[in-house]
Chain A
């Protein structure tokens, strides 16, 4: 929940990245950590397993700076994607103010996406919340996969609440910031609404499907008035343009009064949504296809990988290498193609965890050597006994 502290002059907002395993939640956070201005970002902390899978959450504070006298900060969390970790996933949702759902565009992952979405709704219901009213956006990640489903198909399958959709290739940074910005703007608008009689988020109206012309630039917003008013600022805040047109169509949010992604918030704190022309809310991307492996063992929610006892847990500002979930987008995205960021540091979890794993291993050889000598001892004992018996019988 939003915390407004007039003594500390702070506004704290909790945003959670949700989605199936390996969909790119942590990668999104890593990119934000890498590219956000140093003065605005905090350490990226991760509680993950040895295998670099998120165990509890990744966390990073993002400071928006002082806004109208209040230091406004977003607390960004990711959840573990694997089914096995549902209990911890649910805990991270406590007090959430906005959700970024990271979907894997691969056709082979559609079931995992849907399962994760269903699981999200269930977990939100546990806290008395619902996607129908909670600010959320959907990021369609890994758009460069050869088997990526079209935006239209994914939208039809997953976007029941007409949330803004963003295309992304998180491993190269494309679409990461537009997604976050759209949600942040929505949540801030929600704060101003103060639970009054404002329009719910997202808009209840359904968007009409319409082919889009695959614009050449990432487009997050799109209030035409605003675009006209501040073209320079807008250009500056857009990610580098993509060089290939998106080869698909998506349902436009025409008629969808919400998500004027960069439209000005109502001064008096209007609802999350404002009526207006249909905004183009997705950032079409295209890039050289690269191989995202989705091996059956590692893909998403179908995968339950119980952590082995005594597993080495990782906690902390970390320096983990970018997992090879996606090959870097190359070619024309030179500016965006930098290797994914490393987490800052990593501390190892309670040392107690390790000895517990080591102990059985150390005990095993001891036991086996003892077992090897047992027959020898029996034979020797029997021999000595027989000798004593012979001495007793013949000498005495």
Chain B
């Protein structure tokens, strides 16, 4: 069902994701507790567009940007599948590997928690603590998204960005 395009300004305010430092500190604290309890290797908080919000625990071996994009893509595809099957959403995805596994969990409306874990723990532990953490993260994210935030980029960001573009191309 098509929706009418929103007014551009309203659209931008609603859609832009702005994270301040203390937001991310709160999110990090929750994720750190989760990692400690679940014994998972690392956790990535990714927005639905594929942008990484924060990563805690061990670093990912390859590009975190690419992993984040693929996580978002994987979740988006599953969501569409759920819709076609009459489900609103498959809120949890699990991919099992021989050494590492990954669980993806929807947090609120527009964020995903990806947990990478290995033989030091098991799926039950990860799922249990992820479920608990999801609720707390959702509260923090809801606060963030409910506020209209000013992105206080430097006034000369535009000019400098243009210079950087000139240099790059």
Q: Do A and B bind?
A: yes
A267-B8 CB under 8 A given contacts A4-B151, A64-B161, A95-B48: no
> In the assembled complex, which residues on chain A have CB atoms less than 8 Å from the CB atom of B62?
43
> In the assembled complex, which residues on chain A have CB atoms less than 8 Å from the CB atom of B151?
4, 191, 194
Q: For A4, A65, A77, A200, which residue has the most chain B Cβ atoms within 10 angstroms? A: A4
* CB contact list, A105-145 vs B, under 8 A: 122, 124-126, 128-130, 132-133
A88-B5 CB under 8 A given contacts A4-B17, A4-B151, A59-B69: no
How far, in angstroms, from A12 to B18 measured CA to CA in the complex?
A: 11
> In the assembled complex, which residues on chain B have CB atoms less than 8 Å from the CB atom of A158?
none
> In the assembled complex, which residues on chain B have CB atoms less than 8 Å from the CB atom of A192?
153, 157-158
Are A128 and B5 interface neighbours, CB within 8 A? yes
How far, in angstroms, from A61 to B65 measured CA to CA in the complex?
A: 7
How far, in angstroms, from A94 to B54 measured CA to CA in the complex?
A: 20
How far, in angstroms, from A125 to B2 measured CA to CA in the complex?
A: 6
Are B3 and A42 interface neighbours, CB within 8 A? no
A7-B76 CB under 8 A given contacts A1-B15, A70-B157: no
User: Which listed residue (A47, A94, A197, A262) contacts B166, Cβ 8 A?
Assistant: A262
Stretch at the interface among B20-28, B113-121, B124-132: B20-28
Q: Let me know if B85 is at the binding interface, CB within 8 A.
A: no
Stretch at the interface among A179-187, A295-303, A323-331, A372-380: A179-187
User: Which listed residue (A72, A75, A237, A264) contacts B65, Cβ 8 A?
Assistant: A75
> In the assembled complex, which residues on chain A have CB atoms less than 8 Å from the CB atom of B150?
194
> In the assembled complex, which residues on chain B have CB atoms less than 8 Å from the CB atom of A1?
15-17, 49
* CB contact list, B130-169 vs A, under 8 A: 150-151, 153-162, 164-169
* CB contact list, A67-98 vs B, under 8 A: 67-70, 72-73, 75, 77, 87-88, 91-92, 94-95
* CB contact list, A171-211 vs B, under 8 A: 177-178, 180-181, 184-185, 188-197, 200
Instruction: Considering the complex, give the chain A residue whose CB is closest to the CB of B62.
Output: A43
Are A43 and B5 interface neighbours, CB within 8 A? no
* Contact mask for chain A residues 147-182; partner B; CB cutoff 8 A; 1 contact, 0 none: 000000000000000000000000000000110110
Are A37 and B168 interface neighbours, CB within 8 A? yes
> In the assembled complex, which residues on chain B have CB atoms less than 8 Å from the CB atom of A188?
157-158, 161-162, 165
A223 to chain B, nearest CB (A): 11
How far, in angstroms, from A42 to B155 measured CA to CA in the complex?
A: 28
Are A268 and B50 interface neighbours, CB within 8 A? no
How far, in angstroms, from A40 to B155 measured CA to CA in the complex?
A: 24
Q: Let me know if B66 is at the binding interface, CB within 8 A.
A: yes
A6-B19 CB under 8 A given contacts A181-B165, A265-B161: yes
Are B51 and A12 interface neighbours, CB within 8 A? yes
User: Which listed residue (B15, B25, B158) contacts A7, Cβ 8 A?
Assistant: B25
Are A267 and B159 interface neighbours, CB within 8 A? yes
Are B73 and A195 interface neighbours, CB within 8 A? no
> In the assembled complex, which residues on chain B have CB atoms less than 8 Å from the CB atom of A129?
5-6, 11
Are B48 and A130 interface neighbours, CB within 8 A? no
A67-B161 CB under 8 A given contacts A7-B25, A133-B5: yes
Are A128 and B53 interface neighbours, CB within 8 A? no
Are A4 and B19 interface neighbours, CB within 8 A? yes
Are B159 and A130 interface neighbours, CB within 8 A? no
Q: Let me know if A343 is at the binding interface, CB within 8 A.
A: no
How far, in angstroms, from A135 to B13 measured CA to CA in the complex?
A: 16
* CB contact list, A1-49 vs B, under 8 A: 1-8, 11-12, 14, 36-37, 40, 42-43, 45, 47
Instruction: Considering the complex, give the chain B residue whose CB is closest to the CB of A178.
Output: B169
Q: Let me know if A319 is at the binding interface, CB within 8 A.
A: no
* Contact mask for chain A residues 265-295; partner B; CB cutoff 8 A; 1 contact, 0 none: 1111100000000000000000000000000
> In the assembled complex, which residues on chain B have CB atoms less than 8 Å from the CB atom of A132?
5
Instruction: Considering the complex, give the chain A residue whose CB is closest to the CB of B154.
Output: A68
How far, in angstroms, from A45 to B66 measured CA to CA in the complex?
A: 8
17 pairs across A/B with beta carbons < 8 Å? Answer: A4-B18, A5-B17, A7-B23, A7-B24, A8-B24, A12-B51, A37-B168, A45-B66, A68-B160, A73-B65, A88-B80, A91-B73, A95-B50, A128-B3, A129-B11, A184-B165, A317-B66
Beyond A67-B157, A133-B8: 18 further Cβ-contacts under 8 Å? A1-B15, A6-B20, A43-B62, A64-B161, A75-B69, A88-B77, A122-B2, A125-B2, A177-B169, A178-B169, A185-B161, A188-B162, A194-B150, A195-B10, A195-B12, A195-B13, A264-B162, A269-B157
A contact residues vs B (CB 8 Å cutoff): 1-8, 11-12, 14, 36-37, 40, 42-43, 45, 47, 56-57, 59, 61-62, 64-65, 67-70, 72-73, 75, 77, 87-88, 91-92, 94-95, 122, 124-126, 128-130, 132-133, 177-178, 180-181, 184-185, 188-197, 200, 230, 233-234, 237, 262, 264-269, 315, 317
